[in-house]
């Protein structure tokens, strides 16, 4: 068991406000069931000069998911008994339906509905009511992989679970949280606040950064069990203390939640019951992050050390990075560095199966991979293999082999010849997706190409569109209703036997292989 360096821990806590610049934040550490470090700095509202305190409630966002799964396990004797009702939320789904456990473990194969709001014409700050969610789900017809075979983060899994729980118990989810979790754990002020337009304690979330400044973020989402809880630092540290106090109870909620997950074939998985299973500072950890526009949060628990860390910001800095920095400092852990020159790693690749572009860039100290929702940083070993965060990359110049262990996904991608200029007039047209029941228009003006989506949520903004290779483009989405925008949508042009453009296939990591046919 590594010794805890309390002096290094205190220094790391003191540096948070400097390293993760923004209006305000809170952080705390629990060891052996006791709070051993706690910080609150800055302002919950910089305009009104309202200080951030350890009692200020902040949205914990997707950390909520583990509490939803806790209620499921606490209230439903046999969650599998709810599976007959999953079809009511997906009445047009043609692929095999996911089980309740696969919903809990992000193994459903469903495309994430917050990514799909972009394709349905949503503006980043428009209102998304609770009543808007289910009609979007009913439009789903196929998944992007068979349930149980792989992992993909998907918020609608937990929206469906929330609806199932409320229907089965006949009680509001917020009341169940309060009675069955918050009260026993001593989370005295935690509450379900589904409407993001009305944050607790007048706290304001901020977009921007220290270079360009900070502006209040405007949110209009109605969450429920996917991301709706608000809690103070004191509340979250009480949860960590409750985890420690029940560590020897095999039937305790957190022990049941944190049981090792697996895929349908028995392969170990890295996500289950709303918890990520990671290796941090060389130790097994469970936890979760959370993000809403203007807010970031992360909690992690290292059971072997009886050690927990919580970080929450009212801005969009890297809360997980802050939590990891605290843990590594406390345990005096030195992260491994690249052992060889990463030269030769620059490349543009296409994953034909998932329909997604990959970018690799060799940089000082390793390789940066852009494929999922956020860039991954990998270290290159003496064998020339890049590894990090459950990802392994190898390439022979023309082919890139990627293993994403945590997702049970193996990718063989082919190198693309990059282009910087292409004639957007060739693809300028209107397209229609039968899968989504939504449209797409592509327009080009003097060499600049734009794409605009329309669907059940309206007529969305025009987004920039860039060529990256022959018949491969990207549409950039930097802002969306969800806190983590889809980023680049890969667009592959489809042609008929005569070479005429007949349609497109569009996708991002959260929502892959969506077909559009040309109608204009």
pLDDT bracket for residue 314 (50, 70, 90): very high
192 and 291 both lie in a single domain:
yes
Residue 133 lies in a domain: no
Positive or negative torsion for Cα 17, 22, 25, 28: negative
For residues 228-244, give the mean pLDDT.
98
Q: Over the stretch 338-382, which tens digit does the pLDDT of each residue have? A: 667 788 899 999 999 999 999 999 987 799 999 988 889 999 988
Q: Based on the domain organization, do 25 and 149 belong to the same domain?
A: yes
Domain end residue (candidates: 296, 331, 366): 331
Backbone CA torsion sign across 443, 444, 445, 451:
positive
Provide the β-strand partners of residue 362: 367
Residues of the chain with pLDDT > 70, as a percent, come to 99
Q: Are residues 431 and 388 in the same domain?
A: no
Indicate if 183 and 278 belong to the same structural domain. yes
For residue 326, name the pLDDT band (cuts at 50, 70, 90): very high
- Work out the pLDDT band at 256, boundaries 50, 70, 90: very high
Q: Is residue 35 part of a domain?
A: yes
pLDDT tens sequence across 463-482:
999 999 999 999 999 889 88
Pairing of strands 472-477, 376-380: unpaired
Please tell me the total count of domains within the chain: 3
pLDDT of residue 2: 72
Which of 53-67, 107-121, 122-136 shows the lowest per-residue confidence on average (mean pLDDT)?
122-136
One domain, residues 475 and 506: yes
Q: Is residue 126 part of a domain?
A: no
pLDDT of 338: 64
Strand-pair category, 229-231 with 24-31: unpaired
Q: Alpha-carbon distance 395 to 403, whole Å? A: 12
Buried b / exposed e across 50-64, counting CB within 10 Å, b at 16+?
A: bebebebbbbbbbbb
Q: Which has more confidence, 158 or 131?
A: 158
Q: What is the DSSP letter of 344?
A: T
List of E strands, 224-328: 229-231, 271-272, 275-280, 283-292, 295-302, 307-313
Residue 130 has pLDDT above 90, yes or no: no
Last residue of a domain, one of 356, 382, 415: 415
Whether residue 339 is contained in a domain is answered as: no
Span 415-449, pLDDT tens digits:
999 998 999 999 999 999 999 999 999 999 898 99
Is 195 in the same domain as 51?
A: yes
pLDDT at 389: 87
**Which one from 40, 62, 232, 484 is the annotated catalytic residue?**
62
Task: Tell me if residue 188 is catalytic.
Answer: no
Mean pLDDT, rounded, of the chain: 95
Same domain, 211 and 171: yes
Q: What is the pLDDT of residue 302?
A: 97
Q: Note whether residue 68 is domain-resident.
A: yes
Report pLDDT digits (tens) over 401-414: 999 999 999 999 99
Per-residue pLDDT of 21-41, as tens digits, reads 999 999 999 999 999 999 999
247: DSSP letter: T
User: Is residue 171 a part of any domain in this protein?
Assistant: yes
Q: In this predicted model, which residue has the larger pLDDT, 445 or 19? A: 19
Which CATH number belongs to the domain containing residue 459 in this structure?
Answer: 2.40.128.50
* 434 lies in the same domain as 380: no
Task: Note if 62 is an active site residue.
Answer: yes
Instruction: Give the structural domain span for 363.
Output: 347-415
Same domain, 474 and 498: yes
Which member of 21, 31, 40, 65 is catalytic? Answer: 65
Q: Say how many Å lie between the first and final Cα of the chain, rounded.
A: 65
Q: Which of 332-336, 372-376, 490-494, 496-500 has the lowest mean pLDDT?
A: 332-336
Residues 428 and 503 in one domain: yes
Q: Is residue 49 part of a domain?
A: yes
pLDDT for the residue 363: 84
Assess whether 269 and 174 both reside in one domain.
yes
Q: Identify the domain boundary among 331, 356, 377.
A: 331
363 lies in some domain: yes
What is the per-residue pLDDT for 1? 60
pTM given for the model: 0.95
> Can you give the CATH number for the domain in which 43 is found?
3.40.710.10
Please name which of 240, 112, 115 lies closest in space to residue 185, comparing C-alpha atoms: 240
Residues 237 and 88 in one domain: yes
């Amino acid at each position: 068991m590594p010794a805890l360096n309390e002096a290094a821990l205190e220094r790391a806590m003191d540096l948070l406000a400097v390293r993760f610049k923004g209006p305000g934040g809170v952080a705390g550490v629990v060891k052996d069931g006791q709070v051993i470090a706690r910080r609150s700095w800055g302002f919950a509202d910089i305009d009104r000069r309202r200080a951030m305190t350890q009692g200020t409630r902040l949205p914990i966002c997707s950390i909520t998911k583990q509490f939803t799964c806790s209620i499921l396990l606490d209230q439903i004797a046999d969650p599998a008994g709810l599976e007959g009702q999953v079809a009511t939320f997906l009445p047009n789904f043609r692929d095999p339906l996911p089980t309740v456990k696969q919903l809990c473990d992000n193994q459903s194969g469903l495309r994430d509905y917050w990514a799909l709001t972009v394709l349905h014409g949503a503006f980043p700050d428009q209102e998304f009511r609770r009543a808007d969610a289910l009609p979007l789900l009913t439009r789903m017809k196929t998944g992007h992989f068979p349930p149980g075979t792989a992992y993909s983060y998907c918020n609608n899994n937990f929206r469906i679970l929330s609806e199932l729980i409320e229907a089965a118990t006949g009680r509001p989810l917020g009341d169940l949280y309060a009675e069955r979790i918050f009260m026993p754990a001593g989370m005295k002020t935690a509450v379900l606040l589904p409407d993001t337009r009305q944050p607790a304690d007048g706290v304001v979330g901020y977009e921007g950064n220290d270079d360009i400044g900070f502006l209040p973020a405007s949110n209009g989402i109605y969450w429920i069990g996917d991301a709706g809880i608000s809690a103070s630092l004191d509340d979250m540290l009480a949860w960590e203390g409750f985890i420690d106090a029940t560590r020897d109870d095999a039937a305790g909620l957190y022990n049941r939640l944190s049981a090792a997950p697996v895929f349908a074939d028995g392969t170990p998985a890295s996500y289950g019951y709303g918890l990520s299973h990671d290796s941090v500072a060389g130790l097994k950890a469970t936890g979760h992050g959370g993000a809403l526009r203007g807010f970031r949060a992360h909690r992690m628990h290292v059971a072997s050390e009886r050690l927990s860390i919580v970080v929450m910001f009212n801005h969009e800095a890297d809360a997980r990075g802050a939590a990891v920095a605290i843990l590594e400092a406390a345990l005096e852990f030195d992260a491994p560095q690249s052992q060889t020159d990463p030269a030769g790693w620059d490349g543009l690749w296409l994953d034909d199966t998932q329909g997604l572009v990959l970018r690799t860039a060799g940089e000082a100290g390793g390789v940066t991979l852009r494929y999922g929702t956020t860039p991954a940083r990998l270290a290159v070993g003496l064998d020339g293999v890049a590894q990090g965060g459950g990802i392994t990359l190898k390439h022979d110049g023309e082919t890139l082999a990627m293993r994403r262990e945590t997702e049970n996904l193996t990718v063989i991608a082919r190198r693309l010849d990059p282009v910087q200029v292409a004639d957007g007039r060739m693809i300028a047209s209107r397209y229609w997706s039968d899968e989504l029941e939504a449209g797409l228009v592509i327009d080009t003006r003097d060499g600049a190409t734009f794409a605009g989506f329309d669907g059940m949520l309206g007529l969305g903004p025009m987004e920039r569109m860039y060529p990256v290779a022959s018949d491969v483009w990207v549409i950039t989405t930097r802002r969306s209703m969800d806190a983590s925008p889809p980023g680049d949508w890969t667009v592959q042009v489809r042609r008929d036997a005569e070479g005429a453009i007949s349609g497109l296939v569009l996708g991002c990591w959260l929502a892959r292989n969506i077909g559009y046919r040309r109608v204009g």
